[in-house]
Amino acid sequence: MNPSHRKVQILSCTRLPMVWEDMTRTTLPSWCTLAPPHIGDKGQGKISANGWHVFCMVHLVVMLFHLWGSSPLDSCKNKLLINFCDLVAATKIAARRLITIAHAKEFQDLMLRYLSGLNMLFPMYQLSPTTTSQSIFGNFYLTSVLPQHGAVGYSSDTTICFRT
């Protein structure tokens, strides 16, 4: 990143209380792990993988649609929302218990679209080689390297909380 560029802030300190409020109004199935109530706050402490998963796949999606869902199609907010939804969809595929070649192809397409969106939305930042290799080698990684059961530390059943 060029040091002359300022940091981009998507969710500000004023938005986080809105996220927390929406979290209290969202009903999750009893088997779904709860995200920490004040995620993003300095005093929240360590957050589990399941906590991040539910926060990003459910609560953040709900909040972003609440904030930006009615934005004009060509607005930056709408582009950010679509970009984040591409990442969520790719994550859902990667967290599946069974991944087919078609799933791996869809994952690769979503990751390429997500990364292209990042480049368009944040041209002042340079993507790391690790990030770009996820999309380039995603097909091979998902179908050859990962075991076909429990490839991730949490149950993919958790993704039932949010459907695209």
Whether the per-residue pLDDT at 149 is higher than 80: the answer is no
Q: Are 132 and 115 in contact, with CB atoms under 8 Å apart?
A: yes
Report pLDDT for 140: 56
Supply the pLDDT for residue 158. Answer: 37
Question: Are the beta carbons of 87 and 114 closer than 8 angstroms?
Answer: yes
Pick from 54, 56, 49, 63: nearest CA to 21: 63
Q: How far apart are CA 3 and CA 88, in angstroms?
A: 29
Residue 71 above 90 pLDDT? yes
Map out the domains of the chain as residue ranges: 16-36+46-161
What is the tens place of the pLDDT at every residue in 88-108?
999 999 888 888 888 888 988
Q: At 160, which amino acid appears?
A: I
Each residue of 5-15: pLDDT tens digit? Answer: 567 778 788 88
Q: In the prediction, which pLDDT does 88 show?
A: 95
Q: Which amino acid is at 133?
A: S
